[in-house]
Each structure stands twice: as C-alpha cells, then as structure tokens.
Amino acid sequence: MQKRLSTKAIPLFIAALAATLLFAHSVQSATLEVGSGKPHTTIQAAINDAGTGDTVLVYEGTYTETINFLGKAITVESVNGAAVTTIDGNASGAVVKFESGEGVDSVIDGFTITNGFSIVGAGIYCAQSSPTIINCIISENEAFVAGGGLFCGESFSTITNCIIFGNHAGNAGGAVVFGGVSEEFPSITITNCTISGNIAEDGFGSGIYGAGNHGSATIINSILWGNTGDNNEIYLLGSAHFVTVLYSDVNQDGYGLPDGSADTNGNIRKDPLWVDPLNKDFHLQAGSPCIDTGTSVGAPTYDIEGTIRPQGSGYDMGAYEYKEDKIIIAVDFKPGSCPNPIGFADNKGLMPFAIMGNTGFDITQIDPASIRISRDGVADEVKPIKWNYNDVATPFEGELCDCHELMVDGYMDLSMNVYRKDLVEILRLQEVAGQTLSLIVTGKLKDEFGGTPIKGQDCVRVLKTVLIK
C-alpha cells in the first residue's frame, strides 16, 4: 500500500526542498577573480574552471593570451573597464573565440582586445555562436583574409557600446564580417558602436562586410566614419545580404539627406566631430551632429564608460554619450503622477518635485539653496521655498516626456516645493496652456563637494484652465 506524506511532515518537507533549491542556486553562480595576487592569473584558466552562470571578474592590467569560451554560458568582465584592461593576443591567433555554440548568455564585457592575427576574425572570432559583446575596444588586429576586428559567421551576435578601430584585413571587412551559408539566416545587431580607421586592402567593406550566401545586420545609433575607401563603410557581397541602418552616422551614399539632415530612418552623413580620432579619442565634441539624435529603442542604459544615457534631450550616436561639465540629475515633478498636470486655479498651492538619488549619487551633496527651475525661451527662474530628504520617487528610463506612477525605490531623494503662482507667472506658462513642455532644474553641489553644476528636466502638462489672480 502506498504511504501518504503526513500533513505534519509537509512543512518539514517544504523547508528541506527550499533549502535544497537555495543551495543548488548558490552553487550555480560563482565569481572567479583574475589578476595579480588573485586565485587565477590568466583569464583562460578561470574560464576553464567556470561553470554555467559564473562570472570571471578580471582586474585591470594587460593579459597576454588568447581566450576561448569553450561553449560556456558565462560572463567574462573587467572590474574597471576597457581603458585599463587589455587582452593582448600576441599575434598568435584570434584574441577571443566563440566557436562551440555559445549563446546570448556568453558575455564579454569591458576589454581592449588587440594584437590578434589570424586568417579570419583576428580580434573576435564567432562561428555558429551568438555571444553578447559589450563595452569593448577592438583595435589593431589583423586578419589575413577577412574580419580584422570581428568575424561573425552563422552568428546572431549582439555588439553594443564598442569601439572598433584600426583593424586590418587583407581582403574584406576591416572591422566586421557577417553572414553565412547554412539554411538559417544569420543576423547580427550593432548598437551604439563607433567604427573608424579600419582597412580592407582589396577595398571590400573597410567598415562592415556581408559575406557568404546570405545574412543580415541591424545597425542602430552607431557611427561608421573614416574607414578606408570612398563609399566603403558598408559592402554587401550579394542581393541575399541585408543591412538595416537606423539613427546612425554613415559616410556613404544613401545615408542622410543631401542638405545634411536626417533621412526617414534617422540616419545622417555628417562629420561626427570627435575630440581627437587620430589619437583614438572618439568622445563627441560640443556641437556634434551625433548628440541627442539617436533613438531610445534598443539603446543601452549606459555608455562604454558607464555614463548614463541619455545625458541630454535624446540618446547619442556612438559608444560615448556626450556629457557637459555637469552632473545630470533625475527629476520628477508631482511624484506618483503620470502625466504631470499643472492647474493654477489655486494660486496659493504648492507644486512638489524631487531630485532623485540612486546608488551612485548622494543627493545630500546638493546645495538646496542653489536649485532653480526654468524653461526654454524664458530668461527668469523660479526658486523653491522648502525642502527635505525622503524617498518619494523612482527614476524613469525612457523618452523624456513619457512617465510612470512609481514612487519609493529605496533611495533618498531631495524633495522640494515651489509656489504654483511663481511657476505660472515667472515662467509665463499661460503662453503654453494646453501643451506639454519640459521644465529644467539646475543647481550645484555644496562647495565642500566641489560645487559641480547639476542639471535635469521633467515634462509637465499645462492645463488650458489657467487662472491668474
């Protein structure tokens, strides 16, 4: 006769099961450190020991080796970014290999990948694999045939926030080669990347080259400029290759309008105005046409240096988000309200707003007395009347005038109030009744924290029923 589990034993059984599952989960994720004085001194040794879901955490320095992910769903990431963490292939093959069916959970994040030498794919070689490649500088690699920077064959790779510069191919694809020959239709996605200074000796796609029988690439918020050869940023081998380019700056016929303005896909063909490309500085200068002209769709939350996107009224093109010499703050007028309507029937009422803190920004460093509210086209500013510290709002990630109704998020905010009468009279809001517009909040940090300027903005809906007494 089958025995039934006693109802008294059920709680113990559930507890034991939960403990087993918790233990299993903790075993699945480990961090393996690489660096001087760490348990591993080479990246490949850590990869060899890693299991599914593990992270290989690499401290800054130059690692002279080539690495192979061996089909593992792991993350290999640097502690301090690509600028100070280099994998040098020593001209002994592809620097990084994905050739064992790796998928999106195989991630490489935050390295300079350089000095690779191979027949194809000297910097990164992807064959029948679809890894995630983010925040990397892929430079000065050489392929004898194709794909000086990357070779993506039979691949569905995603490449985000990367700089691909100064790579060389003897035949085609100085920077990137994509495509395939199988019945599958391989497709790669390149988002917020900067691709420049790459060479294809035979003149086929010094930037991006579509090879094989077929394949597609989607390019978003990226800059392809200064790769060797006229009209040679993108080259497709045949009619079975497709490239979709959106909100990008491409120095090639067919992108942007003749007057320099954006085409229907948001693409332009204008000098991106990098700071110093000859010395590998691809930051955008003030006035660059790539500032605020990208799209939020598919854009990463941060740039290659960890700067939050967007910094201005829109997302930028390229690996770097342009930032002025100020701290960009998150602002929420009428926390918990979406949209943010303003009615002025009661001129004695107060309008609440918040400057939001987060894990990397201590809002107690702000000088509350410095805060002012303004709008474009009006010189005068409004000064808040009272403030305190509490958790009242959650930052919104998305287009500027979109919103949500979320409030507390566990981080302290600088909560402030302003007279509605001051807003309507000083900022002349009666002139824009019925419209949605951006209110700009400026100020600075306290002097003991450097006095750095701060700036943020949020949208409000000005109601048509405006009463001024």
Q: What digits encode the pLDDT tens for the residues 102-133?
A: 999 999 999 999 999 999 999 999 999 999 99
The DSSP bridge partners found for residue 224 are 195, 250
* Distance in angstroms between the alpha carbons of the first and the last residue of the chain: 87
Please report whether residue 15 resides in a domain. no
Is 0.75 topped by the overall pTM?
Answer: no
Complete DSSP assignment for 158-183: EEES-EEES-EESSB-SSEEEEESSS
User: Do 379 and 254 lie in a common domain?
Assistant: no
Comparing 39-48, 227-236, 306-315, the range with the smallest average pLDDT is 227-236
Please report whether residue 7 resides in a domain. no
pLDDT at 312 over 80: yes
User: Do 160 and 98 lie in a common domain?
Assistant: yes
Residue 9 pLDDT? 44
Residue 21 pLDDT? 38
Q: Report how far residue 62's alpha carbon sits from residue 32's, in angstroms, rounded to the nearest whole number.
A: 18
Residue 325 pLDDT? 73
Q: Report how far residue 419's alpha carbon sits from residue 438's, in angstroms, rounded to the nearest whole number.
A: 17
**Domain range for 438:** 327-462
Residue 231 pLDDT? 65
User: Do 260 and 381 lie in a common domain?
Assistant: no
pLDDT at 99 over 70: yes
Give the count of domains, the chain: 2
With a pLDDT cut of 70, the percent of the chain lying above it is: 89
User: Do 270 and 403 lie in a common domain?
Assistant: no
Q: What are phi and psi of 389, to 5 degrees?
A: -110, 120
Please report whether residue 11 resides in a domain. no
User: Do 337 and 432 lie in a common domain?
Assistant: yes
User: Do 278 and 405 lie in a common domain?
Assistant: no
For 288-309, write each residue's pLDDT tens digit. Answer: 999 999 999 999 999 999 988 9
Please report whether residue 300 resides in a domain. no
**Residue where a domain terminates, one of 284, 315, 350:** 284
User: Do 256 and 331 lie in a common domain?
Assistant: no
For 350-399, write each residue's pLDDT tens digit. Answer: 889 999 888 778 889 999 999 999 988 888 999 998 899 999 888 776 66
User: Do 160 and 241 lie in a common domain?
Assistant: yes
Please report whether residue 293 resides in a domain. no
Give the domain CATH number at 392: 2.60.40.1220
Tell me the CA distances in angstroms from 117 to 137, 393, 411, one per residue in order: 16, 51, 48
Element (H, E) at 48: helix 43-49
Residue 348 pLDDT? 64
Residue 8 pLDDT? 43
Residue 143 exposed, middle or buried by CB count within 10 Å (0-12, 13-18, 19+): buried
Rank 58-72, 225-239, 321-335 by mean pLDDT and report only the highest: 58-72
> Nearest 5°: CA angle at 226, between 220 and 229?
110
For 202-223, write each residue's pLDDT tens digit. Answer: 878 899 999 888 899 999 999 9
For 396-444, write each residue's pLDDT tens digit. Answer: 766 667 676 677 888 889 999 999 888 888 888 888 888 888 899 999 9
269-281 exposure pattern, b = at least 16 Cβ within 10 A, e = fewer = bbebbbeebeeee
Please report whether residue 341 resides in a domain. yes
160-172 exposure pattern, b = at least 16 Cβ within 10 A, e = fewer = bbbbbbbbbbbbb
User: Do 248 and 367 lie in a common domain?
Assistant: no
User: Do 216 and 82 lie in a common domain?
Assistant: yes
Q: Is 420 helix (H, G, I), strand (E, B) or coil?
A: helix
**Residue where a domain terminates, one of 254, 284, 314:** 284
Give the domain CATH number at 185: 2.160.20.10
